[in-house]
Structures are given as structure tokens and as C-alpha cells.
Amino acid sequence: MSKEGGLGAPTRHPIPWTDPDFVDAGKIDDELRRVFDICHGCRRCFNLCDSFPRLFDLIDDSPSGELDTVPSSAFKAVVDACTFCDMCFMTKCPYVPPHEFDLDFPHLMLRYRAAEQARGETGLRETQLAKTDRNGKLAGKFAPLANWATARGNLGMRNVLSDLAGIHREAELPQYHARTFMDRAAESPAVNPGAPAHGRKAVIYATCFANYNEPAMGTAARAVLAHNGVATEVVYPSCCGMPQWEQGNLEQVATNARKVAGEMAGWIEQGHAIIALVPSCALMLKFEWPLLLPDDENVRLLAENTYDITEYVVALAKEDGLAAGLEPLAGGVTLHLACHARAQNMGAKGAEMLRLMPDTEVAVVERCSGHGGAWGIMKDNFDVALKVGKPAARQALKAESAWVVSECPLAGTHLRQGMEGLSEDVPRTAAHPILLLAQAYGLQQVEAPSS
């Protein structure tokens, strides 16, 4: 018999998204009430995302003070506050499988949103924002204009964007580049033949963010790996589908998964490791896709051969040793451990990678930034997102490092906004720790916003 607080690793079940019962409103309501009643009796997750305070307030303010007098129509507010950070499942909940209560809060929220998607109730704004490939291609063609229009200081355009797209006018938005990471991939860095890991080869899965919004992440990763003897190719069949996942559009996620996994299978058979540059994408490839398509051999093969970039560099250092040339990072660095990096259950690989730099102080922040993908930029959520991320911002400032960085670029941007709200003296931030490692090698300088 399983025990509360046991040492067994959390496990997840395949997602039966093609079963009609999966989107059956009555069955979903029954499961919501079962799970919410367990959460009500536990309340360990009260200080995570806003889903749990909303749930507990609904119960406490109900006529009976129990779940039985909370109307089902009120549950949508709880579902809408879930950002799929997975921290309740990974770090807080004592009732996840293999416990007999079999509680998986994030995947239940996913099921609710999948039912909304099936009924055609997903909002037009959210649907359009989730089309990251299309948006990136369009904005990239007019990058200077797009970046001007979405800048925080452009109040006129940001007010229009707020009215049309529901994006908060103060939320920092990622910039676009006319020359994507894929465009730059032809400029392959020379591989160091004297490096201990010479002979390894890997495919960089560009991810939509690195491709359209932060190509420097990709070029830095390739430069670091080439200096360490790893030959790389850059491949980007399509988005991992995380934005669609957040909307419950599981059919689109499955389509993307089959396409990407099918193309990556050939590279894996040729001996390439697959490296994702953003932890949300690595999480999808390694954990969520196999639950969505458990019988797809290509998906299984990809999951078994995918690494987060920090995970790969740390493995390289342990198994082969790194090439010489790393210099200290003056003033040290504070790393925000992204929720989707933690959810990969691989350890604090971002911190381990940064500690490879000699004589460099590395502080770690293990609190959610509050961003939650596109959730945190919406005008209905932005203030709550800053509130959720305030403890992380406070810890980052307290460390007094010269640099603050997150494995999730969006989380890092949001964290910087949180720090700006608390202090006028904000450290420099970088989009990803791989940029700092490239700078420590003298391979690429970080172009980062400063306070």
C-alpha cells in the first residue's frame, strides 16, 4: 500500500485525449469535485499559483464552508489560473501517483481546457497568441516595426494592443528578429579538434523562442558546444506545442509531436543527441509527448534522446571534461530555476553548469517567477503574476549578484520586471545561462538589458 510522503517518484498516466469520456462535462465535474475536496483538506499548495487561493476562497466563502455548496460554474476561475508550472505535482502534493488518491492537478486542468477547446469555447485572443510560428514569421518580416509597436514605452500602441489582444500595457514582451536562428544556422562554428568531447554530435532543436525571439541563445549554445568538440546541426520542424497545450488543443500538439519526432528519428539513428534550448520545450519532448502518444515509436525514441541544453553541458563536463578557457564571471550570478526545468526531475542543472565557471559565486532562486507562458502578460493576470513572482524577485535582489538569469527566457524577463518594482538598482539580466557560459569562454558577449 502506498503511503503519504513516501519516497516513490511521482508517476503520470497516459492522457486518453481521444476517448470521448475525456471531454465529457459530467465526468470532468465529478473528477474536479473529487480532486478539489482532497485539495481543500490538505492546502499545502496555498502559496504556489493563484489556482489554489481561488479554490480555497470559493470553499471558505460558500454557505456550508465545504465544496458541496460551491457551484460548478465557479470552477473555471480556478482552472484559468493554472499556468501548468507542474510545481504542485512535482514538489508539493503528497497524493500524486502512485498514491491511491491518484491526484494530478495540472493534467486535470488540461482536461478541462481540452473540453473547452472541443466545445469551441477557447477565446480568439488566446488562440491567436498560441500560434507562435505564424506570429514569429510575420513579426520577423517587420521586426523593427513590430518591436517599436510592442515596446513598453509606446503607450499609444500598447493601449491598442491591450484592447485588441488583451495584453497588459506594462508587460515586457519579447522582441523579434528579421534574421532567425535558423537563418544563422549556415554559419556553423568550427569544431575544436583538441577538446575532450571531440567526436560527439548533436542536433539543436531551435524552439520557437530561440528561433524568432532570441537567436543569440542558439548561437551561444553552438559556440560553446563547438569549443568543446561537439558538432551540431540546427533543426526546427515546428513548435513543440506548449502554447497549444496551455489552450487544451491536444490534437494540434499531437500533430506537432508526430512531425518533429518523425524528423528527429533520422538524426538519432545517425548518432545525434537532441538538445532543446528552452526547458518548456524539453519538458514537452521528454515527458508530455510520450503521455499524449504512448504508442508512437518516434516519440518514445525522441524522449529517450532529448536533453535540456544545461543538462547536456553538465553531462559533457562529467563524462568527458570541458575544454579549457573558462574565465570567472565577475560579481557572480543568481540563477532562477525555471519551473519547467525543475519539472524535468533532472536536478538543478542550470546551477551545475554555471558552477563550471571558476571562482564564480552562484546563488539559486527556487521560487516561481509567476509568468506562466502567455498567461502572465494578459491584462487580467499581469498584476497577479507579479504578485506570485515577488518572492523570487526579492530573493534575486537579496543575492546582490552582478547577473540574474533564468533558464526560461520569459520567466527571466518577468523576474526583471518584478525586481524593477522593488528596487532602482537591478542587476543585469541574460536570456539564458548558456549565454553567460559563452561569455565566460570569450566566445560571445551578452547583449542584455540593464537597469
pLDDT of residue 128: 87
For the stretch 229-270, pLDDT in tens is 999 999 999 999 999 999 999 999 999 999 999 999 999 999
Contacts of 279 (CB under 8 A, 6+ apart): 308, 338, 340, 341, 343, 344, 407, 408
Cα 200–Cα 205–Cα 208 angle in degrees, nearest 5: 160
The upper half-sphere exposure of residue 426, i.e. CA atoms within 13 Å in the direction of its Cβ, equals 23
Write down the domain spans for the chain: 20-118, 124-165, 181-317, 325-440
Looking at the domain covering 325-440, what would its CATH class be? alpha beta
Which residue stretches of the chain have pLDDT < 70? 1-9, 448-451
pLDDT of residue 81: 92
Question: How far is 89 from 98, CA to CA, in rounded Å?
Answer: 12
pLDDT of residue 448: 56
The upper half-sphere exposure of residue 410, i.e. CA atoms within 13 Å in the direction of its Cβ, equals 23
The model's pTM is 0.92
pLDDT of residue 1: 30
Q: Which long-range contacts (CB under 8 A, 24 or more apart) does 69-74 make?
A: 72/29, 72/32, 72/33
Q: Are 85 and 338 in contact (CB under 8 A)?
A: no
